[in-house]
Structure 1
Amino acid sequence: MTKLMIDIVDETNELTEEQLNEIENLLNFAAEKQKIEDESEVSVTFVSNERIHEINKEYREKDSPTDVISFAMEELGEGEAEISANGMPRVLGDIIISVAKANEQAVDYGHSFIRELGFLAVHGFLHLLGYDHMHESEEEEMFTLQKEILDEYGLTR
């Protein structure tokens, strides 16, 4: 099984060890399904609504809290050159999840909190791999893949 190097930080101190382990297992499962190289690195940070609001405003110029934000390390900006180092681990990027939004959305959608956390983690992870949902065809591909990963893993609605 693919083994990611996952750095998980819960800035809210609201999540249990079991919940954090579940997210780690789910991301490793998603990495296996996507055939990601062993030892690839990803960080997951669980934050408050206030913190994700600040990040959303600063980096996305959106003045509101959101549920998940991803910062892909492999995404090239305009004029940036690709950097590759043989023998170095692949650094996928950062996933930031609002615990309060996850709670709120779990209630709204009528499923468990861990299902919503898992959905947001997989959603963010797929963004790190280059998936997007700006256009209808991309959205269908990404959302179908998310559902397949979550269902196969066992985090169903």
Structure 2
Amino acid sequence: MTIEVHDESGFAPPPDLSEISALATFVLDQMRVHPGAELNVLLGDETFIENLHIEWMDLEGPTDVLSFPMDELRPAPIGETPRPGTLGDIVVCPQVAARQALRAGHSTAEEILLLVTHGILHLLGFDHVEEAEKKEMFDLQRDLLLKFLASRGGPTQAPEPTVA
């Protein structure tokens, strides 16, 4: 898999880009995405993500995460070969993540990992508009993050979702 993670947020302390990349690899493997798939993750500041939020969603103010799908890749059903392609781009704002993490009672690093997982699921076609969709997506997001954190010797409890 080709996963590129860049930090242009100016957030201090800087997020652990290798941890974000490891998470993305883990999630894409768990979701049965083609090993040749491409994903870009950009950490941007509040002004940058607010401009994207206005341009693409017509909504004011900074947000926590935005996803921009490219080739509309979907998880391969068990027994089927996933198709290659570009998954897309995720933009996360660490400043917004830090505020959400404080309210939720976990670390900014965990919140960023939660948001990256959330963004990947959006790229894979998951959504949370309807209550049933929200439950499916948030349960999956929690399960993926918990398994990743446990595999790294981290917390045995995933942070609660803060995205609506």
**Smaller-chain TM-score bracket:** 0.7 to 0.9
Deviation at 1:110, TM superposition (A): 0.4
Which stretches in structure 2 are left out of the alignment for 5+ residues?
Answer: 73-82, 150-154, 160-164
> Which letter maps to 1:139?
K
Summarize the alignment of residues 64-79 of structure 1 with structure 2, pairs less than 5 Å apart: 64-75=61-72
CA distance 1:121–1:15, shift in 2 (3 Å): farther
Taking the aligned partners of 1:18 and 1:133, their CA distance within structure 2 comes to: 27
CA distance 1:64–1:94, shift in 2 (3 Å): same
> Which letter maps to 1:42?
L
Give 1:30's aligned residue: 27
Identity percentage of aligned residues: 35
Summarize the alignment of residues 73-152 of structure 1 with structure 2, pairs less than 5 Å apart: 73-75=70-72, 89-152=84-147
Runs of 4+ in 1 over 6 A off after TM superposition: 15-18
> Which letter maps to 1:58?
E
Q: Is the 8 A contact 2:9 2:43 kept in 1?
A: yes
Give 1:58's aligned residue: 55
How many residue pairs get aligned? The number is 142
Q: Alpha-carbon deviations, 1:23-69, whole Å to 9, x = none?
A: 10011110111011112001001011111111000111001111000
> Which letter maps to 2:7?
D
Give 2:17's aligned residue: 20
Q: Alpha-carbon deviations, 1:88-131, whole Å to 9, x = none?
A: 94100000001100111111100011110000000000000000
Deviation at 1:15, TM superposition (A): 6.2
CA distance 1:104–1:24, shift in 2 (3 Å): same
Give 2:80's aligned residue: none
Taking the aligned partners of 2:144 and 2:49, their CA distance within structure 1 comes to: 25
Taking the aligned partners of 1:11 and 1:23, their CA distance within structure 2 comes to: 14
Give 1:153's aligned residue: 148
Deviation at 1:16, TM superposition (A): 6.3
Q: Is the 8 A contact 2:11 2:95 kept in 1?
A: no
CA distance 1:98–1:57, shift in 2 (3 Å): same
Deviates more, 1:30-39 or 1:13-22: 13-22
Taking the aligned partners of 2:135 and 2:127, their CA distance within structure 1 comes to: 10
